[in-house]
Amino acid sequence: MTSHTRQDPADRHRQLLAVACEQAEAHGLDTLTPARVAEAAGASKALVFHYFGSTAKLRRAVALDAVAHLDAALEPDDRPLAERPAYVMSRFVDSVTAHRHVWQGIWRGTLADDPATGEALQKVRGRMLARLVATADTLGFTPGERLRLLADGWVALVENLTAAWLGGSDIERDELERLLLSSLVVLVPELPEPARSAVVELTRRKTATR
């Protein structure tokens, strides 16, 4: 008589999510369905619905996993402020490139207007800016409304340029990163020191090496 060990629900959920992420990256987030995940995982469609509830929630779970991956990739380290923007931009491009089809779905697909995905993404956007410019002297700095507006506009520009690049572009990755870094100058008037001077110097160097 064969003995069957009941799998822990959390482990089963993680396994199904991993399969869903693989399928979304292979075929696009907007084509992801419980049936596709069930077939790839060797499970029943009912089981996938049990863990995720609906097609929309399944896609959202995959999107939130990509957002969490990006957030982890942007974790700060102890490198000097002058080096941090280039490091953060490189890590940003690394993460979205690794999940390009999922990010295309987040930015331009069916989840572009999803409230839960948008809320998670907005938190990462704020942390991304903080990791670019925060120092021991400015950790308590509270952004004013002007900086908030400029930061939102800058992040939107970063996402739009990156989405266009992921969708097919003739420019090389190095050129994309240079464009993203150069665009930081729009924030300069509202940044505290020493972040303001660091961004000005970085932009000067990027412009000089074109």
Domains of the chain: 9-208 (1.10.357.10)
Are the CB atoms for 93 and 42 separated by under 8 Å? no
Using the 8-state DSSP alphabet, how is residue 189 labeled?
G
Asked if the model's pLDDT at residue 34 lies above 90, the reply is yes
Asked if the model's pLDDT at residue 136 lies above 80, the reply is no
DSSP reduced 3-state for 19: helix
Least confident window among 21-25, 148-152, 180-184, 189-193 = 189-193
Token pair, residue 200, equals: 């000005």
pLDDT at 48: 96
Listed in sequence order, the residues at least 6 apart from 197 whose beta carbon sits closer than 8 Å to its beta carbon are: none
Asked if the model's pLDDT at residue 3 lies above 60, the reply is no
